[in-house]
Homo-oligomer: A and B are copies of this chain.
Amino acid sequence: MPAVSDCTEMLDSETKAVETPEDHAEELRLWLRLLTCTTLVEGEVRGRLRQRFDVTLPRFDLMAQLDKAPDGMTLSDVSKRMMVSNGNVTGLVERLVESGHLDRRTSETDRRVQVIRLTKLGRAEFRRMAAEHETWIADLFADLTPKDVRELMRLLAKTKASAQKSAARRRP
């Protein structure tokens, strides 16, 4: 092979991104598989929550956030944690206050802020649901070895960081 080949290859690889569209089929497949897994588990959890406890998944998720915050959270905290829009939280909270699971009060130091907490009823019901929920998840992931789980945790952490970085690049 002639000595110039390295140079040619360099030029090729430098111009490749411009001249020939890169192949990202693998990443695309990965994304679709990730989505499939999530949809599968989510659908299963949604159905079981409805059948066993007549509760929706978003309500359960919101209560899960509040269970971890005994002193309550503001609506924007919840919104950020759940990665949903503000307006979405407003409606969700409204319904859960209505049903007696949540307590909502205006902060005394900042009248813009609404602080929400689980009521005694809300906490009791959530704990009951969460215990069973945990066994569903364990069952859904039952075929993964502890090593699989560790490895997935690691790779998904990397995935999350990558996606966050990419999102930040676009919206600095």
Within 8 Å of chain B (Cβ to Cβ): is A56? no
B143 near A158 with CB under 8 A, answer yes
Interface residue SS majority, chain A: helix
Copies in the complex: 2
Are B143 and A165 in touch, CB under 8 angstroms?
yes
Tell me, in angstroms, the Cα distance from A33 to B159 when the chains sit together: 10
Q: Which of A41-49, A93-101, A119-127 contacts B (4 or more CB under 8 A)?
A: A41-49
Given contacts A40-B167, A158-B144, contact A153 B24 (CB under 8 A): no
- The reply to whether A83 and B36 contact each other, CB–CB distance below 8 Å, is yes
Which residues of chain B are within 8 angstroms of A139 by Cβ–Cβ distance? 166, 169
5 sampled A-B residue pairs with Cβ under 8 A: A26-B146, A30-B152, A34-B156, A143-B158, A152-B159
**What 12 new A-B contacts, CB under 8 Å, besides A30-B152, A36-B83, A140-B162?**
A26-B146, A28-B137, A30-B153, A34-B34, A37-B156, A37-B163, A139-B166, A142-B166, A144-B155, A144-B159, A151-B151, A155-B155
A interface residue numbers (CB < 8 A to B): 21-22, 24-31, 33-44, 48, 83, 131, 134-135, 137-144, 146, 148-149, 151-153, 155-167, 169-170
